[in-house]
Structure 1
């Protein structure tokens, strides 16, 4: 069984997956593949697309596990997603050839990476989310700020781990930030700030299994582990587990990190859904072997895919 891992070959996550692989008794091959190395060709003679990454023919793998979504130009990002989408329907090879599964699917990644689209779909499915306004012009954003404010969080439309997030509570500073984003050709994405007690909840969904932590940061309103928060094991209620599963299902992700904040009125509010979630801090806090959980789930998905093909 062969699994290609789209990610940096020296990443902690690949090393953890390789470690987990060594502890299993079945034959399993893991290969690191970089997004930037993907190339394809369309052969009219046999109506086939070939997907290559250096010496790796991705179409010969049983699964492609997406572990990163690197930045790139609009053309590069669209090509990468379309290549992954077409890989699932590759018909190269003999008649019994079964194309690989991609986890998460390109569509799930597209939805989750776009904060506006994912949040809108969550709200459409009656999941509580923060009040959010998205604008392209600074003047419109200032009007939205007056409705959301005086305390808002400005985020980049794409990106994670707390990068580029700013909290603004002054109209003049807000307008300055909005003008800068407009000048850079960005989209102005702002949310109401929801007061909290210095922590939020991350629930990792892997198929039917869930694992929870509290991300605690008494020194900063941001609770990202990458920004200094600490992870604590958290026994999520059935209500929160069901909420996380619903949120993952909305973005079509089988593996997802769902960030939840308990609002002052007690309402669980979904902040974001990550379709390429990390697990280093969660594994350390819970003592769970998340890499093994990922491999077990991926292997089960391969078997299910083969039965249906």
Structure 2
């Protein structure tokens, strides 16, 4: 029986779903808090562990979610994942993919380098430069946190005075100012779940009421959607661009030019809404694929 470890942030539906799938697949699964990871070097050997489990001895590690933390904490957690990879423990997603996908600017840079369609985006550190970008984007932008998910912290700004205030507040906080030109879209986006170079399933997420954000975590409605060949091509290529084994890839249709653009690649994607909308057993697919990879 293979033994895996899932590094998580708290407990909840996804943890229970992974444990259910592990039992059905006859897989031993340790669910371990990411913030309990510790490591040592010297005395002839290095070691990485969490919750008393030696991670260098398991057959594979699944990175489910990284908890919030300071810069040093986040860097150390990634260092530990790199250590596991170096000593031969399969880590899904690989640490380089997690590092790339968690950073919105880096993600889009990697996608653009592959020739994939991305929205007009600007990132910088001063309010004055951000106001120039705001004007160049037609005075209608979405302000996003550089790191973040589930639509949290997004703000549409289409008034210059509000833009001035917002950008100066972010500058005072020492934050990166990350702007995306507002895309006129049909009120929904598309989430495709890629695993092992193929699209496992997809859903359409529709904003509700006066809300423009489509994320299910903030009230969006999810329904099963059958992707066409072009959507599948974009999703798989985006996943490969960040070096991920599995990912949640978001596409949105730009009504002004009729094309789809890639908004995000999530290397620690949730799948609750996708499973409910499509009936897919994503947890079983993930653990099953990891089991096949380590055989």
Give the TM-score normalised by the residue count of structure 1: 0.92
Residue 213 (structure 1) aligned with residue 179 (structure 2): no
Deviation at 1:73, TM superposition (A): 1.0
Q: Distance in 1 between matches of 2:170 and 2:292?
A: 44
Q: Distance in 2 between matches of 1:222 and 1:10?
A: 26
Which one of 66, 73, 79 corresponds to residue 70 of structure 2? 73
Q: Distance in 1 between matches of 2:13 and 2:46?
A: 32
Deviation at 1:53, TM superposition (A): 1.2
Deviation at 1:20, TM superposition (A): 1.4
Q: Distance in 1 between matches of 2:13 and 2:89?
A: 24
The corresponding residue for 1:134 is 123
Residue 54 to residue 17, structure 1, CA distance change in 2 (3 Å): closer
CA deviations over 1:81-103 (Å, ceiling 9, x no partner): 0111011123xxxxxxxx32100
Deviation at 1:229, TM superposition (A): 0.4
Q: Alignment partner of 2:86: what SS?
A: coil
Residue 124 (structure 1) aligned with residue 113 (structure 2): yes
Which one of 230, 234, 240 corresponds to residue 231 of structure 2? 240
Deviation at 1:54, TM superposition (A): 2.6
Q: Distance in 2 between matches of 1:255 and 1:204?
A: 7
Residue 146 (structure 1) aligned with residue 138 (structure 2): no
Deviation at 1:55, TM superposition (A): 1.1
Deviation at 1:8, TM superposition (A): 3.6
The corresponding residue for 2:28 is 29
The corresponding residue for 2:12 is 11
Q: Distance in 1 between matches of 2:55 and 2:10?
A: 16
Q: How does 1:1-309 map to 2 (within 5 A)?
A: 1-8=2-9, 10-24=11-25, 26=26, 28-43=27-42, 45-46=43-44, 48-90=45-87, 99-210=88-199, 211-219=201-209, 220-264=211-255, 265-303=257-295
Residue 140 to residue 8, structure 1, CA distance change in 2 (3 Å): closer
Q: Alignment partner of 1:269: what SS?
A: strand
Q: Alignment partner of 1:146: what SS?
A: helix
Kindly indicate whether the alpha-carbon contact (under 8 Å) linking 2:9 and 2:66 is maintained by their aligned counterparts in 1. no
Q: CA RMSD in A?
A: 1.1
CA deviations over 1:257-278 (Å, ceiling 9, x no partner): 0000011122110001000000
Gaps of 5+ in 1: 91-98, 304-309
Residue 9 to residue 174, structure 1, CA distance change in 2 (3 Å): closer
Q: Alignment partner of 1:88: what SS?
A: helix
Deviation at 1:187, TM superposition (A): 0.3
Q: Distance in 2 between matches of 1:29 and 1:88?
A: 20
Q: Distance in 2 between matches of 1:228 and 1:110?
A: 28
Deviation at 1:71, TM superposition (A): 1.4
Kindly indicate whether the alpha-carbon contact (under 8 Å) linking 1:9 and 1:32 is maintained by their aligned counterparts in 2. no
Gaps of 5+ in 2: none
Q: Distance in 2 between matches of 1:87 and 1:179?
A: 41
Deviation at 1:206, TM superposition (A): 1.0
Q: Distance in 2 between matches of 1:54 and 1:22?
A: 21
Q: Distance in 1 between matches of 2:29 and 2:283?
A: 12
Q: Distance in 1 between matches of 2:85 and 2:46?
A: 11
